[in-house]
A and B are shown apart, each in its own frame.
Chain A
Amino acid sequence: MRALYPPGSDPDGRAFVLDESEDRPVAGPTRRFRFPHLRLGTWLGVVIMGAALAIACVGPWISIHDPNDFSSTVNAAPSDIHWLGTDDLGQDVFARLIVGTRLSLVLGTVAALVALLAGTLAALFGMASGRIGNLLVFGIVDLIRALPGVLFALALVVAIEPGTTSVVLALGLAFAPDFARITRASYLQEAARPYVAAAFVFGASPVRIALVHILPNITGALVTQFAIILPRCIVLEAVLSFLGLGVSPEYATWGRMIASASSYTEEAPHVLLAPIVALSVLTFAFAMIGDELRRRFDPARRRIMT
């Protein structure tokens, strides 16, 4: 018989995570810390992401140039003064790349968080509010999923107004259905568990069961999905910027850098390569980390491992 510990009953207020291998909830902090065994790819991902975070935090102090300052030295090759050369407006590519790193990370993370919140809450509400709510929420979700993400985000940005808020909102709503579907699948799985039945017997409302009991137990799947969606948000933001519909043009985003450099591939290929390589490497890092998280939180795989 599985022991039931309804979430919230912990004196410290910590949420429990149901560990299927032990048939009882285990509070995280009581376990001994073990240095995780990670694959080479994951290590690479972690190192790259750490470097990107460091650059985003201290980068502006490394660069000696203002990323927005223009000069008559256009499309210059890398040199002692301009480490990655200059673009068609004579702006320092390295300085812009650093600013772009920060923007890409911040915008990508915030957009992925918006997607996580919107998708998860909408799905939980839909599942908890019965057949009509379910139909309504997942009808909208399917409608959005039927459209290509780029088109949907593009239409939203154009409809609202170009700017940071609209870009974050557009990216968030474009990827919210991915979280909604994961939430729905996990919800259905969890709803069959005895602790949910127990909560129901204790008189908890469907919304309370969804938010207080089920949500903490599906965070693993959501975190994995978050790690998968985040690089997609970064790439889509770059696409919007490439099309000239990203954040304000005064901010140096990778997409905007690629767009402006694409007209000078022959004269200054390094200007184009710099943001492309940065975008590829960061996306690779997130993909590796996301893959590791998926491996660790995948219930089927966990069962095999135990």
Chain B
Amino acid sequence: MSLQLLKPVVAGLLGLALIISPAVADPKYGGVLKLYWGTLDTTDFHRHTGTISLTHPFAETLTSVSKDGQPKPFLAESWQISSDGLTYTFKIREGVKFHNGDTMTAKDVLANFSRIRAEVKKGWLTSAMEPVDRFEAPDDRTFIVILKTPFSPFLNLIAEAWILSPKSAGWDKTISHPIGTGPFTFDSWTPQVVLKGKKFSDYWMKGKPYVDAVEFDVRELADASLAVRSGDLHGAEVPLSKRNILGEDKNVMLDFRGDTSWYFVSFNNKTPRAPFNDLRVRQAISYAIDKPAILNLSAGESGQLVNQMAAPGNFYYDKAMADADPHRQPNLDKARALLKEANVDPAKVTVRLIGEATDRSVAPIVQMIKRLGFNVENKAYDDLGYQKALSGYEWDIFPGGSGPRNDIFLRFVRLMSDGPNPHLWGGVTDLEFDRLVREASISVDDTKRRALYLAAWQRVIDNYYTVAIGHTPALYAYRKELRDMSIGFNTSAHRADGGIAFAWFDR
């Protein structure tokens, strides 16, 4: 067949392909977006100590953590870091308006950073502000941060430093009605019930947002998957156990968060009592813990067996370290031999275990420890109660979990002697560990920083401060008619490269 004859055939096929291929639809405007996406702690965003899920839709930050975990420009159009890593010069985005109509300037940014530094005494932002020497705003579009020492996580950490109008009600004490720059204005909030926002028509991302309003269901739902399937909600974080059921529903799409949650068993490292101050006993308990079984029960096929704080795919994950994990599979014989070697009769020892009441992995872990012959005193507390009980250090073992963090430093800092809430990991006091993490945090070289973090984690493994069990992803479900909605690296509902500003209804 000659080429002349083929031409009309090819053209016809191409034409047919164009007709039958799904058209890339233009975003449509309108609708009220209903989501179950976490909760809100306080209207004074600077003082938040918990989740950041619902803050960004109303107030934005200089940087935004994108789906791959890297900082992206947000309210800062760009930035420069001096060669010594001490000076960060941010170019503030032009034409950004607060919800009250005022134009955001570098002076507003300075006022926010100064307020955070002066007022916020606990929470994640304290780590970001610790190395800061001073702030400067030489003109309306330049904001400079001068650090005392280099601090590599700085750009990721300030992705939680919300920029609010200093005219927000309660600015001098506690902000009661935040005025931000986000795609939605803060409309109303009924704690534990609903948080509402209205479309901000002067939003700086041209043409966005597409929906007229957003309603966040902030009740504590055990399972929002049915509400998504019925159409009562357009998107929600749902239990991993619903993955198969939701996967079969043609009206629902699934998405996974970029960063994972990790699960661990911590020993009391601050005031360890005999025999748990003996490394062999800690080893024995670690050999008794059936990591694959725990992951299977809590996450099914989605669990990842990892002995580190970073999961595969993360820059700070190390495969060799994972492969060398002696506790990938339980080994009760070895565990019993270690106890014998340490002269410990488990029948005469009662393990004091503290757990969170809703954590379903605690019961299997208790059974695993009991298999060695130990008695277990298992105390379950509510969300606040277990943290209080842990801080008393009247315990031996704590099985727990930890959610996504904007930077790996925020995971390591928890194990530092002077880190925030050190009791969750048993109050580790290891000066060498502290030094390695500190060195990593000031290192401007990626490879060197990774090596330092890994060296620090190797100390955790060798000393059995905490035994990492594995990682589980977080599952999100959206209605099919909701287009271009996505979850990023962390739990935030809005970011520079996706989230609710990009979402629209195709009805």
* Interface residues, chain A, with chain B CB atoms under 8 Å away: 68-70, 72, 74, 88-90, 158, 161-163, 243-245, 248-250, 260, 262-264, 266-267
Complex CA–CA separation, A250 to B296 (angstroms):
20
B378 interface residue (CB < 8 Å to A): yes
Contacts of B223 in A (CB 8 A): 263
B413 interface residue (CB < 8 Å to A): no
Q: Are B382 and A68 in contact (CB under 8 A)?
A: no
Complex CA–CA separation, A162 to B388 (angstroms):
13
Q: Which residue of A lies closest to B381 (CB)?
A: A162
Q: Are A72 and B293 in contact (CB under 8 A)?
A: yes
Contacts of B362 in A (CB 8 A): 249
B258 interface residue (CB < 8 Å to A): no
Contacts of B381 in A (CB 8 A): 162
Q: Binary interface profile of B, 359-380, with partner A (CB < 8 Å = 1, else 0)? A: 0101110110000000011111
Complex CA–CA separation, A260 to B360 (angstroms):
8
Q: Which residue of B lies closest to A249 (CB)?
A: B380
- Closest 9 interchain pairs by CB? A244-B357, A249-B380, A70-B364, A248-B378, A250-B378, A263-B222, A263-B223, A250-B366, A68-B367
* Interface residues, chain B, with chain A CB atoms under 8 Å away: 222-223, 226, 239, 241, 245, 293, 296-297, 355, 357-358, 360, 362-364, 366-367, 376-382, 385
Contacts of A89 in B (CB 8 A): 297, 360, 363-364
Choose from B226, B297, B357, B358 the contact partner of A90 (Cβ within 8 Å). B297
Contacts of B366 in A (CB 8 A): 68, 249-250
A238 → B minimal CB distance (Å): 14
B303 → A minimal CB distance (Å): 13
21 contacts across the A-B interface (CB closer than 8 A):
A68-B363, A68-B367, A70-B367, A72-B296, A89-B360, A161-B379, A162-B357, A162-B380, A162-B385, A163-B379, A243-B382, A244-B380, A245-B380, A245-B382, A248-B380, A249-B363, A250-B366, A262-B222, A264-B241, A266-B245, A267-B245
Choose from B241, B245, B376, B385 the contact partner of A250 (Cβ within 8 Å). B376
Contacts of A88 in B (CB 8 A): 241, 297, 360
Q: Are A158 and B382 in contact (CB under 8 A)?
A: yes
Contacts of A262 in B (CB 8 A): 222
Choose from A74, A163, A249, A250 the contact partner of B297 (Cβ within 8 Å). A74
Complex CA–CA separation, A245 to B382 (angstroms):
7
Complex CA–CA separation, A161 to B381 (angstroms):
8
Contacts of B357 in A (CB 8 A): 162, 243-245, 249
Interface of A is mostly: loop
Choose from A243, A248, A264, A267 the contact partner of B379 (Cβ within 8 Å). A248
B6 → A minimal CB distance (Å): 55
Q: Which residue of B lies closest to A74 (CB)?
A: B297
Contacts of B360 in A (CB 8 A): 88-89, 260
Q: Which residue of A lies closest to B364 (CB)?
A: A70
Q: If the complex has contacts A70-B364, A249-B363, are A244 and B358 also in contact, measured as CB distance less than 8 A?
A: yes
A54 → B minimal CB distance (Å): 28
B459 → A minimal CB distance (Å): 32
Complex CA–CA separation, A163 to B364 (angstroms):
19
Complex CA–CA separation, A263 to B222 (angstroms):
6
A239 → B minimal CB distance (Å): 13
Complex CA–CA separation, A244 to B383 (angstroms):
10
B298 → A minimal CB distance (Å): 9
Q: Which residue of A lies closest to B368 (CB)?
A: A70
Complex CA–CA separation, A263 to B224 (angstroms):
10
Contacts of A260 in B (CB 8 A): 360
A89-B297, A90-B297 given; 9 more Cβ-contact pairs under 8 Å: A68-B363, A68-B366, A69-B367, A88-B360, A161-B379, A162-B381, A162-B385, A244-B358, A248-B378
Q: Are A70 and B385 in contact (CB under 8 A)?
A: no
Contacts of A264 in B (CB 8 A): 241
B338 → A minimal CB distance (Å): 24
Q: Are B382 and A249 in contact (CB under 8 A)?
A: no
A85 → B minimal CB distance (Å): 16
B397 → A minimal CB distance (Å): 14
Q: Are A162 and B379 in contact (CB under 8 A)?
A: yes
Contacts of B378 in A (CB 8 A): 248-250
A233 → B minimal CB distance (Å): 20
Contacts of B245 in A (CB 8 A): 266-267
Q: Which residue of A lies closest to B383 (CB)?
A: A244
Contacts of A248 in B (CB 8 A): 377-380
Q: Which residue of B lies closest to A70 (CB)?
A: B364
Complex CA–CA separation, A243 to B383 (angstroms):
11
Q: Are A263 and B239 in contact (CB under 8 A)?
A: yes
A299 → B minimal CB distance (Å): 45
Contacts of B376 in A (CB 8 A): 250
Q: Which residue of A lies closest to B356 (CB)?
A: A244
Q: Which residue of A lies closest to B371 (CB)?
A: A69
Contacts of A90 in B (CB 8 A): 297
Contacts of B382 in A (CB 8 A): 158, 243-245
B436 → A minimal CB distance (Å): 37
Complex CA–CA separation, A69 to B368 (angstroms):
9
A68 → B minimal CB distance (Å): 6
Contacts of A267 in B (CB 8 A): 241, 245
B400 → A minimal CB distance (Å): 14
Contacts of B222 in A (CB 8 A): 262-263
Contacts of A162 in B (CB 8 A): 357, 379-381, 385
Contacts of B380 in A (CB 8 A): 162, 244-245, 248-249
Contacts of B296 in A (CB 8 A): 72
A58 → B minimal CB distance (Å): 24
Complex CA–CA separation, A301 to B239 (angstroms):
56
B228 → A minimal CB distance (Å): 13
Q: Are B379 and A70 in contact (CB under 8 A)?
A: no
Q: Which residue of A lies closest to B380 (CB)?
A: A249
Complex CA–CA separation, A72 to B364 (angstroms):
11
Complex CA–CA separation, A54 to B390 (angstroms):
41
Complex CA–CA separation, A244 to B359 (angstroms):
10
